[in-house]
């Protein structure tokens, strides 16, 4: 694939990783891209690199436009290795005059590559470097999603190169938002937000305010993963505003696992109760659904019901896995219900309730526990618990 000119003199020179599924653990993302940008001006600049195995592709794409040796500056917006893995080889190949990064970026590069001799040039928010007809403005975005993260903004092109923010893990041959199905694009962006950015939502709010106060004129957002927002950058900014405020709708996720289908029967009855209250329901067995898809559904759901059988005095492992993951992502403002079948000691539903309380979920009732296989009356209790959760969802959204 050729380098793609995204603005006059600015080229996408990144790489497409079609079949990767392991991002911070195995998941169900559909590949990704590592986006890097070559800016051809008096001082030719490369913004970001790619994951190590793709450096050859990056340098080949750069060579389509300029001699790599003519690159003067290398900007490292983010040190995570899917963007910086290529830095050592690129530095050797191009011998840049400056490796431009934040102070946290410098420290992180040293910890990753142990090379104190690189020509580090530390920038912080508000710093500007002229590269000829264009300027590079830097905005640190600490903890979005690493301490070293920063944006590079080019006012002459109204272009924001946004590092990991606004990205999607989605491998496509197209480079721009208007070349793909818009709804599918937003689903990938939501999945990325739910799984990678959600826990930093308060910082996203602050960043959006900061960008607003700086009055940045932006007509293109180029993230380091996925499609470039060319036709409607406001769409992703508005989505980040909504997601970071954790605005939920009349939707509930009922997620569970089961050994002998008793907890599954309970889950179905809870879902029926929610549906009786006209709540949109996603019923997700952890045998069929990956945790990354479950948290994506939880992103805009007001209610979350979690079920597990008791196994060896504890949770079923997949439920423990989900709850550990979910807790780290800090979902906020949810209503919760814990349920599960048990044989003799019955700890699981109570442990789920403890997790949900820890996450500050408002529990609509005590943990719902059924001894072995639920009978008619117990399934009615599950249905009623679902209805109760549904009614509470409606009440909270109308107030």
Residues belonging to the active site: 24, 78, 80, 82, 145, 164, 192, 225
> At closest approach, how far in Å is the CB of 374 from ligand FMN?
9
> Which one, 262 or 318, has the nearer CB to ligand FMN?
262
- For residue 189, the Cα-to-chain-centroid distance in whole angstroms is 7
CA distance 43 to 140: 22
| Helical segments of 29-79, H only | 55-63
CA angle 339–341–345, rounded 5-degree value? 105
Q: With binding defined as CB under 6 A, does residue 346 bind ligand FMN?
A: yes
Q: Which of 72, 261, 327, 350 touches ligand FMN (CB under 6 A)? A: 261
Compute the least distance from the CB of residue 373 to ligand FMN, in Å. 7
Of 77, 102, 244, 310, the residue at the interface with ligand FMN (CB under 6 A) is: 310
| Residue whose C-alpha is closest to residue 134's, from 76, 73, 93, 87 | 73
Residue 160 near residue 210, CB atoms below 8 Å: no
Q: Is the bond preceding residue 154 a cis peptide, omega within 30 degrees?
A: no
> Which is closer to ligand FMN, CB of 147 or CB of 346?
346
**Would you count residue 311 as binding ligand FMN (CB under 6 A)?**
yes
How far apart (Å, rounded) are the C-alpha atoms in residues 62 and 99? 17
Binding flag, residue 286, ligand FMN (CB under 6 A):
no
Binding residue count for ligand FMN, defined by CB under 6 A: 18
Interaction of residue 372 with ligand FMN, rule CB under 6 A? yes
Q: What does the alpha-carbon distance between residue 157 and residue 238 come to, in Å, rounded to a whole number? A: 21
- Between 191 and 369, CB nearer to ligand FMN: 369
Q: Does 260 bind ligand FMN (CB under 6 A)?
A: yes
Interface stretch with ligand FMN, choices 24-32, 77-85, 276-284, 304-312 (CB under 6 A): 304-312
The HSE-up count of residue 203 (CA atoms within 13 Å, CB side) is 15
Look at residues 372, 361, 345 and name the one whose alpha carbon lies nearest to residue 266. Answer: 372
The minimum distance between CB 260 and ligand FMN, in angstroms, equals 3
- Measured from the CB atom, the residue of 42 and 287 that comes closer to ligand FMN is 287
Using the rule CB under 6 A, give the single segment among 34-42, 54-62, 253-261, 349-357 that binds ligand FMN.
Answer: 253-261
3-state secondary structure (DSSP) of residue 204 = helix
Neighbours of 319 (CB within 10 A): 26
Identify which of residues 242 and 261 has a Cβ nearer to ligand FMN in the complex.
261
Q: Which of 25, 343, 358, 366 binds ligand FMN (CB under 6 A)?
A: 343
> x/- binding map, residues 199-218, to ligand FMN, per CB under 6 A?
--------------------
Q: Does residue 259 belong to the site contacting ligand FMN (CB under 6 A)?
A: yes
Sheet with 98-101: strands ordered across: 4-7, 10-12, 37-39, 45-47, 73-75, 98-101, 120-122
Cβ atoms of 256 and 306 within 8 Å: the answer is: yes
Contact (Cβ atoms closer than 8 angstroms) between residue 75 and residue 100: yes
Q: What three-state secondary structure class fits 99?
A: strand
Binder to ligand FMN among 130, 133, 174, 313 (CB under 6 A)? 313
Output 82 or 347, the one with its CB closest to ligand FMN.
347
Of 46, 341, 349, 361, which one interacts with ligand FMN (CB under 6 A)? 341
Q: State the minimum distance, in angstroms, from the CB of residue 276 to ligand FMN.
A: 23
189-194-196 Cα angle (round to 5): 90
In the complex, which residues of this chain contact ligand FMN (CB under 6 A)? 258-263, 309-313, 341-346, 372
């Amino acid at each position: 694939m050729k380098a793609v000119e995204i603005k006059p003199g600015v080229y996408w020179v990144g790489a497409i990783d079609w079949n990767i599924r392991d991002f911070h653990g195995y998941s169900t993302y559909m590949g990704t891209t590592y986006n890097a940008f070559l800016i051809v001006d008096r001082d030719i600049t490369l913004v970001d690199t790619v994951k190590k195995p793709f450096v050859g592709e990056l340098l080949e794409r750069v060579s389509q436009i300029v001699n790599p040796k003519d690159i003067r500056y290398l900007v490292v917006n983010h040190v995570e290795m899917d963007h910086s893995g290529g830095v050592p080889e690129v530095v050797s190949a191009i011998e840049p005059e400056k490796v431009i990064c934040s102070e946290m970026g410098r420290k992180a590069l040293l910890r990753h590559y142990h090379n104190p001799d690189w020509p580090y040039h530390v920038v912080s928010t508000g710093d500007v470097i002229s590269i000829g007809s264009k300027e590079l403005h830097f905005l640190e975005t600490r903890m979005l999603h690493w301490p070293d993260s920063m944006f590079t903004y080019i006012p002459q092109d109204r272009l924001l190169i946004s590092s990991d923010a606004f990205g999607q893990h989605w491998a496509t041959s197209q480079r721009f938002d208007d070349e793909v199905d818009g709804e599918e694009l937003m689903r990938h962006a939501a999945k990325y937000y739910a799984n990678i950015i959600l826990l930093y939502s308060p910082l996203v709010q602050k960043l959006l305010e900061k960008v607003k106060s700086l009055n940045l004129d932006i007509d293109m957002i180029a993230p380091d993963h996925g499609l470039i927002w060319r036709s409607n950058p406001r769409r992703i900014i508005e989505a980040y505003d909504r997601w970071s405020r954790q605005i939920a709708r009349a939707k509930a996720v009922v997620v569970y696992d089961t050994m002998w289908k008793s907890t599954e029967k309970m889950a179905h009855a809870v879902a029926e109760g929610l549906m009786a209250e006209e709540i949109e329901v996603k019923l997700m067995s952890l045998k069929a659904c990956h945790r990354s898809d479950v948290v994506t559904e939880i992103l805009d759901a007001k209610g979350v019901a979690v079920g597990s059988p008791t196994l060896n005095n504890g949770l079923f492992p997949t439920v423990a896995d989900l709850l550990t993951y979910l807790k780290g992502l800090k979902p906020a403002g949810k209503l919760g219900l814990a349920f599960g079948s048990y044989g003799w000691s019955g700890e699981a539903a109570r442990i789920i309730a403890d997790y949900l309380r820890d996450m500050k979920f408002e529990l609509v009732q005590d943990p719902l526990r059924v001894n072995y296989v639920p009978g008619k009356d117990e399934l009615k209790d599950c249905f009623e618990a679902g209805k109760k959760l549904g009614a509470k969802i409606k009440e909270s959204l109308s107030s």
